[in-house]
């Protein structure tokens, strides 16, 4: 027989807890002559059995039910399911903490956060010490703050020597030029990259051209191309000024440009924001030429739909882009899907480079991402495409 203090010590519980168990009828004491409670070996084992059941995550009430009647399987199954959900949630919390401490990839977290709270995500990245340029690259390219620098080094290595950073062709650019009524004045190209379009525009127009990009290296490649392609003494060719700045914060005067041009770059800050924030730099009745990746079908295959949902969640159909454009006070002058040559100009050299690197056993997440994208293009291009929009600012 055990006194309550002895039983409490043996099962490592307080007196109060044992008295509560007794009140619930889980154990029962006998009164000794001196009035003290005494418990039997059976009571000791009942408490130990109860503790074993509690270790399975059962509540006291559920334990009592198990002690008093046959095990209720449905109830236990329900408990197991709740426990599995708790474990999965805790595992997620663990993964997040370990990734924030740099112990694993943060890709899924960045991607999900960017889908649900893109502006707050970008802002938070800058709070963590990333510049706007880095934060935007992280959003679109590396998608992982723990591996950002290494990823970008590998990404730049892959693109080294490739001039086109997105689908485009001189024919498609000239087609857009032909629907613009103004033929002279100032033209700003945003996200000009290594200048394939800048040079085509210079060769086919009389505009004074400003090329803007936030990547010094891309601009240095463009300078080199210009030095090779445009003899400085040929005064019939228009001037090109290059500016390294962000498309989100451009150092120009209000209504400075007759035309703003941006092929494959406006998505970086978001088409809607670009339409709004670039407007003030365009002269009244001036033009905006912008290209964007769009759905060309209302019912894409699951694989391609999922791919672009992760890679470009804002991707829209032509009709809904045009609605956004109208809502932003532009008139659509022309809109057409870039031709196959525009894609070939971009994809063929990129595919060749990716194959070469893979042959040299270059293993990198940046290459793996590009190869995945190339596979999607080869399987599904046509369900989506690049759309050129020639827009005129409404009064
Ligand atoms: C997909 S590439 C397109 C480049 C070029 N238009 C072409 O078709 O080859 C996007 C370009 O935008 C530039 N870029 C990225 N973020 C930018 C920003 N915040 N401001 C200005 N340029 C940016 C990149 O450096 C890159 O040159």
Averaged confidence pLDDT in the chain:
92
For the CA of 215, the closest atom of ligand 1 is: 25
Q: Find where tokens 């406006």 sit.
A: 266
pLDDT higher at 61 or 216:
216
**Rounded distance from Cα 262 to ligand 1 centre (Å):** 9
Separation CA 51–CA 55 (nearest Å): 6
pLDDT score, position 40: 94
> Which residue has the least CA distance to atom 19 on ligand 1?
246
Res 102: pLDDT: 82
Q: How far is the CA of 80 from the centre of ligand 1 (A)?
A: 52
Q: Which residue minimizes the CA distance to atom 27 of ligand 1?
A: 193
Over residues 316-330, mean pLDDT:
97
Average pLDDT estimate for 70-78: 84
Q: What share of the chain is helix, strand, coil (3-state, %, to 5)?
A: 55, 15, 30
Q: Is the pLDDT of residue 335 over 90?
A: yes
User: Ligand 1 centroid to 165 CA: how many Å?
Assistant: 8
- For position 248, what pLDDT does the model report? 95
Q: Which of 134, 191, 199, 220 to mutate to test the pocket of ligand 1 (most atoms within 8 A of CB)?
A: 191
Per-residue model confidence (pLDDT) at position 323: 97
Please tell me the distance between residue 48's alpha carbon and the centre of ligand 1 in angstroms.
Answer: 68
**Whole-number percent of the chain with pLDDT over 90:** 76
303 Cα–ligand 1 center, Å = 27
Mean pLDDT for 159-178 is 96
- The confidence score (pLDDT) of residue 235 equals 52
Residues in the chain: 395
131 close to 249: Cβ distance less than 8 angstroms: no
CA–CA distance, 257 with 241 (Å, rounded to integer): 13
State the pLDDT at residue 227.
Answer: 83
Q: Tell me which of 265, 267, 338, 388 to substitute to probe ligand 1's pocket, judged by most ligand atoms within 8 Å of the beta carbon.
A: 265
Question: Distance, CA 164 to ligand 1 centroid (Å)?
Answer: 11
Q: Domains plus CATH for the chain?
A: 2-71 (1.10.1660.10), 170-393 (3.40.50.150)
Between these two residues, 386 and 80, which has the higher pLDDT value?
Answer: 386
- Minimal-distance CA residue to ligand 1 atom 12: 191
pLDDT (0 to 100) of residue 71: 76
- pLDDT band at 268, cuts 50/70/90? very high
Question: What is the pLDDT at residue 237?
Answer: 58
DSSP state of 238: P
pLDDT tens for each residue of 191-213? 999 999 999 999 999 999 999 99
Would you state the pLDDT for residue 231?
61
Which atom of ligand 1 is nearest the CA belonging to 269?
Answer: 19
Residue 380: φ, ψ to 5°: -125, -5
Give dist(CA 45, CA 325) in Å, integer: 76
pLDDT (tens digit, 9 = 90+) per residue, 225-259?
888 765 654 555 567 999 999 999 999 999 999 99
CA distance 305 to 328: 27
Q: How many whole angstroms from 136 Cα to the centroid of ligand 1?
A: 11
Within 6 Å (CB) of ligand 1, which residues are found?
Answer: 136, 164-166, 168, 191-193, 196-197, 213-215, 218, 246-248, 263-265, 268
- Report the distance separating Cα 372 and Cα 364, nearest Å: 12
Contact, 57 vs 84, CB < 8 A?
no
Lowest mean pLDDT among 13-17, 288-292, 355-359: 355-359
pLDDT tens digits, 27-52 = 999 998 898 999 999 999 999 999 99
Q: Looking at the predicted structure, is the pLDDT value of residue 218 above 60?
A: yes
Q: Is residue 359 over pLDDT 90?
A: no
Using a cut of 0.75, tell me whether the model's pTM lies above it: yes
Q: What pLDDT digit, counting tens, does each position of 102-136 carry?
A: 888 888 889 889 889 999 999 999 999 999 999 99
What's the gap in Å between 199 CA and the centre of ligand 1?
Answer: 15
Residues 6+ apart with CB under 8 A from 56: 79
Q: pLDDT band at 13, cuts 50/70/90?
A: very high
């Amino acid at each position: 027989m055990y006194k309550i203090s002895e039983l409490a010590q043996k099962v490592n519980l307080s007196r109060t807890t044992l008295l509560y168990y007794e009140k619930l009828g889980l154990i029962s004491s006998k009164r000794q002559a001196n009035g003290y409670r005494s418990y039997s070996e059976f009571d000791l084992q009942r408490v130990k059995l109860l503790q074993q059941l509690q270790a399975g995550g059962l509540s006291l009430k559920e334990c009592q039910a198990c002690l008093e009647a046959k095990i209720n399987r449905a109830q236990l199954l329900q408990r197991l399911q709740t426990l599995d959900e708790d474990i999965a949630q805790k595992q997620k919390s663990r993964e997040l903490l370990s990734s924030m401490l740099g112990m694993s990839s943060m890709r899924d977290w960045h991607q999900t956060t960017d889908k649900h709270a893109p502006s707050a995500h970008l802002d938070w990245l800058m709070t963590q010490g990333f510049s706007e340029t880095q934060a935007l690259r992280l959003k679109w390219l590396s998608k992982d703050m723990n591996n950002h620098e290494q990823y970008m080094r590998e990404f730049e290595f892959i693109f080294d020597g490739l001039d086109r950073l997105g689908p485009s062709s001189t024919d498609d650019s000239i087609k857009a030029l032909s629907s613009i009524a103004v033929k002279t004045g100032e033209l700003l190209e945003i996200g000009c990259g290594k200048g394939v379009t800048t040079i085509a525009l210079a060769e086919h127009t009389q505009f004074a051209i400003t090329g803007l990009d936030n990547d010094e290296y891309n601009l240095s490649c463009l300078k080199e191309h210009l030095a090779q392609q445009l003899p400085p003494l040929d005064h019939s060719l228009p001037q090109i000024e290059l500016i390294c700045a962000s498309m989100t914060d451009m150092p120009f005067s209000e209504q400075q440009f007759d035309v703003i041009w941006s092929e494959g770059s406006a998505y970086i800050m978001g088409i809607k924001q670009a339409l709004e924030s670039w407007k003030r730099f365009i002269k009244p009745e001036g033009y905006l030429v912008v290209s964007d990746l769009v759905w060309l079908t209302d019912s894409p295959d699951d694989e391609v739909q999922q791919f672009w949902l992760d890679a470009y969640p804002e991707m829209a159909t032509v009709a809904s882009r045009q609605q956004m454009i109208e809502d932003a006070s532009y008139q659509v002058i022309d809109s057409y899907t870039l031709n196959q040559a525009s894609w070939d100009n971009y994809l063929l050299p990129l595919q060749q480079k990716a194959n070469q690197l893979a042959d040299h056993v270059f293993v990198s997440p940046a290459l793996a991402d590009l190869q995945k994208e190339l596979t999607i293009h080869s399987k599904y291009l046509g369900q989506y495409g690049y759309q050129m929009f020639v827009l005129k600012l409404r009064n």
